[in-house]
Amino acid sequence: MNPIVNYDDVMKRLKMVFEKNGVKEDEKNPFFKKAKLEDLECLLHVYDYFAHWTSIYLNDELAVIKDLVIPTYIIDFYKNYEPCHQPMTQAGIYLFNLKRIQEENSNSVLLKYKLLTIACTIGGDSVCLDFNLDEPSVVLIDHTEIPLVEEIEKYFPTYDDIKSIIHLVSESFSEFLWKYSGDEYGDLEDEYL
């Protein structure tokens, strides 16, 4: 199932939530913007981009993401509505812009498990797209449960092993955006960790 939401509606809902929380958008600091094509490379060519830029993995260690294709509807969101200058909602998360997605995942031990970090909580926990099912889900991972890169293989040799620290937030990216834009999540750390 691929429940696509109307991103214009998501933006309207989010702007209302931000304004309700006392933050107004202005021209100099928009909540969203159109992405630059070069910034989209990390989503259009996941393996090529991160195999080149990773600071913690050798290329063969990322072979598991070689065939990873991010669905068009997710790319369309970032292409047309790249997050920027956003306050937090009551969920206590900050959606990353594409530069931050590039930075976080270049240094992330989670990428080899097909977990792409797209946001973080106020406490520094990772909000990821989980590409291990047909429909990417949104999950939360407590940063205190992630071992150092040199030790991760010992504790979590496979995705099945790391599932014990993954907390499902939403069955799909679209559902996540819709709930997030309506401020329907409470504090994610309190609810899921």
Q: List the chain domain ranges.
A: 7-184
What is the reported pTM?
0.93
Q: How far apart are CA 150 and CA 154, in angstroms?
A: 8
For 98-135, how does the pLDDT look when each residue is reduced to its tens digit (9 = 90+)? 999 999 998 888 999 999 999 999 999 999 999 999 89
Phi, psi of 183 (to 5 degrees): 55, 40
Query: Which residues sit opposite 141 in a β-bridge?
Result: 126, 166
What is the pLDDT averaged over residues 19-31? 90
Q: What is the 3-state secondary structure (H, E, C) of 32-88?
A: EECCCHHHHHHHHCHHHHHHHHCCCCCHHHHHHHCCCCCCHHHHHHHHHCEECCCCC
Query: Would you give the DSSP letter of residue 138?
Result: E
Type and span of the H or E element at 188: helix 188-192
Please check whether residue 109 is in contact with residue 141, taking contact to mean a CB–CB distance below 8 angstroms: no
Judge contact between 22 and 32, C-beta under 8 A.
no
What are the tens digits of pLDDT across the range 180-192?
999 999 999 999 9
Angstrom distance (rounded) from CA 134 to CA 91: 26
Q: Of 3.20.20.70, 3.40.470.10, 1.10.10.10, 3.40.1580.10, which CATH number belongs to 7-184?
A: 3.40.1580.10
Q: Is the pLDDT of residue 1 over 70?
A: no
